[in-house]
Structure 1
Amino acid sequence: MSLDELPAGLHEAEDVTRHYDLVERAAGEGRAGELYELALTLRAAEPGWQRDAVLLHIQQALALTPGPGNAACAVRLAATEQLDSRVRLAAAQLASAQPVDNLLPLYEEYEQAPELFACLTQELVLRHPDIGQHGAVRRVTAHLADANHPLAILPLTLLPLEDSLDLPSYSLRGASYAIPFGPVERSGFPRRPGHQMPAVELLAPGLLTAAVENWAEDSNGRIEARAFRLAMPAELDAELLEGLGLTCLAGEGEVTVRAATPSEVMRVLFAAAATGSAYGSGRGGAYGRLLAWQSMTALAGGTRVEDAAGRTWVLFDASTAWFYQVAWDVGIAALDPDRLLVHVLAATDTD
């Protein structure tokens, strides 16, 4: 079977492995133009899971197989993609696999695909710390700012608290990534039924949940976001969390709390936003960074993400009925420098 013959009978195929092999071989041989034309043909063909699977594989093979022609055709395909999730995925795969020199000339086509290049820019920032030194990237970033694109608020360099982010590793047949959250070994903190901390509950910032909203939107997740002003200064520990009346800690079960650095918290928030949950694939690295910033800023008091450095942070988990205790459990709390203002974010999901 040749590339020209591939569309014939595709919708009747019970397995598309042979089709994948053919696409991958063509990408490896640098036949990017042929793959691009094949993708256009398939887009006009009869709908079906087989067609959709091969179309996605063409996009991935072009993005993940290094070569200037492959990169250029991957951008051309992604520029006309209708699904936002596919655009985000294409940007992530291009940034992960293509040398920067293959991508920079393509920034001249920014106006044909502003969303793709907005995502690509931030995906490159995550993987290439010096990408902001290139004039083409700075020019596109300036255009994005003029257009009030949401990603334009992100800088072209990583902050110190972004030094531990886990990035996916892509291959032609899948992807792998770290999950820096989930059930932990229990510490056995002695529970105190009925214990209450004198505090006034405040309206939690709307963006507090930004990093984990996809868990509820795309999967079976549930979220708790709370803010409190304490009557007197306190330490951020299990006893304090126990006394705030959090739904996620209600009932029987052990609570585990450990001190965390802003980098550790950002790592958790970024993974939750970028890679997603049980049934969701997340929002990708570019929007994952933005959503993690939004949650981190809200947890730190709602002014600047840099204010996170002045807060006290803990990560917590519990074997209560609220947490599913499968793989997707998150508990974060932050205490302001005066030890009076507490913000809490908890999320859990199951398959």
Structure 2
Amino acid sequence: MPPPPEARAVAARLARTQPVPELESLFVELPDDPRAPGVETRACLLGELALLGAGAGRPRVDAYAERLRAPGHPLAWLPGSRLDIEHRFLVRVRGRGSVKTLRQLRARFPEAPSSEAGADAGRLAVEVPDDARAQTAARPFVAGGWARTPEVRFFALPSPLEPGDVGTAFLRQLPLDCLEGGGAAVACVTMPDDLLDELFSAACHGGVDGQGQGGAYARLHAWESLYALMGLPADVPFLDAVRTAFDHRWVRFLASTPWFHHDTADLGLAVLDPSRTRVAVLAATDTDVTAPDGSARP
């Protein structure tokens, strides 16, 4: 069940407007039932405080967070403090919006070269379906209500692929719906903190016709998605996941194909694992253009 919108909204407002010492009184009574009234709001508030770098190290707050772990509240899985890799969360840079064109992608990130070796590897790639993993990877966009259900695919390679060969030549050989129809395409190299922020923003702010999930649950969905894209089980410690993330090759891509709306937000992502034999691909797109019946454009 998704958290009630009012709990997320109240928690975000309290975190922004009230000093932490005054909020401590909300955590005096420890919860016995995670479904009891007020517990969800307090769980969201803990998440919002973590994003602000506040709350941790205060006995009442820490005790409440620890009590939420016992029944397995989903937000209790997250680190109690903001990690360095999350430094872009909630930071808005004036004049820097979503990447919607190939030109914008090239202007912001170094382009990944295409290669014959990449094309050869793409032709030999074998898809490895995993519906549960794909749903988890897509969660930030689905929860945020983006216009189109993301495309998430996983592939295995018969031999290791050099990270520098993960470019458009490689991607075009994969059976991806988002690249069907021809048209120009660009692939650029990026880093995991950039993609983690994209995942967070997709859920936090929501799609044009969707609903933002608030900072606490956006953070949860972003980390769940990142773990899924890397194929990590949930019991891997976060700092180990961060270290592992920087051993992967992260590539953004975009293409002038009918699948992408080229309207409000587009994201193409390919990630090569450290063994260089597994690739995950995620593509997402959003739009405020509607069909004649009032539904989102397919």
- 1:339–1:310 Cα change, 3 Å: same
Task: Find the counterpart in structure 2 of residue 120 from structure 1.
Answer: 45
Task: Find the counterpart in structure 1 of residue 154 from structure 2.
Answer: 227
Partner letter of residue 151 of structure 2? E
Tell me by how many angstroms 1:285 deviates: 0.6
> Identical aligned pairs, as a percentage?
34
Give the structure with the higher percent helix: 1
Q: Distance in 2 between matches of 1:237 and 1:190?
A: 5
Task: Find the counterpart in structure 2 of residue 240 from structure 1.
Answer: 170
Task: Map 1:2-21 onto structure 2 (within 5 A).
Answer: none
Task: Find the counterpart in structure 1 of residue 139 from structure 2.
Answer: 210
Q: 1:263 aligns with which of 193, 198, 209?
A: 193
Task: Map 1:146-165 onto structure 2 (within 5 A).
Answer: 146-165=70-89
Tell whether 2:279 aligns with 1:342.
Answer: yes
Tell me by how many angstroms 1:178 deviates: 7.4
Q: Is the 8 A contact 2:49 2:55 kept in 1?
A: yes
Q: Is the 8 A contact 2:270 2:282 kept in 1?
A: yes
- Secondary structure of residue in 1 paired with 2:209: coil
Q: Is the 8 A contact 1:224 1:248 kept in 2?
A: yes
Unpaired runs of 5+ residues, structure 1, are 1-82, 169-175
User: May I ask how many residue pairs the two structures share in their alignment?
Assistant: 259
Q: 1:324 aligns with which of 254, 257, 261?
A: 261
Q: Is the 8 A contact 2:114 2:170 kept in 1?
A: no
For residues 233-256 of structure 1, give each alpha carbon's deviation from its aligned partner in whole angstroms, at most 9, with x where no partner exists.
223222211111211011122212
- Secondary structure of residue in 1 paired with 2:211: coil
Unpaired runs of 5+ residues, structure 2, are 32-36, 289-298
Partner letter of residue 126 of structure 1? L
- Secondary structure of residue in 2 paired with 1:232: coil
Task: Find the counterpart in structure 2 of residue 89 from structure 1.
Answer: 9
Task: Find the counterpart in structure 2 of residue 135 from structure 1.
Answer: 59
Task: Find the counterpart in structure 2 of residue 18 from structure 1.
Answer: none
Q: Distance in 2 between matches of 1:248 and 1:228?
A: 16
Q: Distance in 2 between matches of 1:240 and 1:314?
A: 12
- 1:299–1:240 Cα change, 3 Å: same
Tell me by how many angstroms 1:90 deviates: 1.3
For residues 28-83 of structure 1, give each alpha carbon's deviation from its aligned partner in whole angstroms, at most 9, with x where no partner exists.
xxxxxxxxxxxxxxxxxxxxxxxxxxxxxxxxxxxxxxxxxxxxxxxxxxxxxxx8
Task: Find the counterpart in structure 1 of residue 293 from structure 2.
Answer: none
- Give the TM-score normalised by structure 1: 0.67
Q: Distance in 2 between matches of 1:253 and 1:285?
A: 37
Give the number of the structure with larger relative contact order, counting CA–CA contacts within 8 Å between residues 6 or more apart.
2
Q: Distance in 1 between matches of 2:70 and 2:138?
A: 27
Task: Find the counterpart in structure 2 of residue 302 from structure 1.
Answer: 232
Tell me by how many angstroms 1:162 deviates: 1.1
Tell me by how many angstroms 1:337 deviates: 1.1
Q: 1:276 aligns with which of 194, 206, 211?
A: 206
Tell me by how many angstroms 1:191 deviates: 12
Task: Find the counterpart in structure 2 of residue 201 from structure 1.
Answer: 127
Q: Distance in 1 between matches of 2:216 and 2:95?
A: 16
Tell me by how many angstroms 1:108 deviates: 2.0
Partner letter of residue 14 of structure 2? L
Task: Please provide the CA RMSD for this pair.
Answer: 2.8
- Secondary structure of residue in 2 paired with 1:197: helix
Partner letter of residue 103 of structure 1? L
Q: Distance in 2 between matches of 1:208 and 1:277?
A: 16
**Segment of structure 1 superposing worse, 181-190 or 232-241:** 181-190
Partner letter of residue 153 of structure 2? R
Tell me by how many angstroms 1:166 deviates: 2.3
Q: Is the 8 A contact 2:26 2:42 kept in 1?
A: no
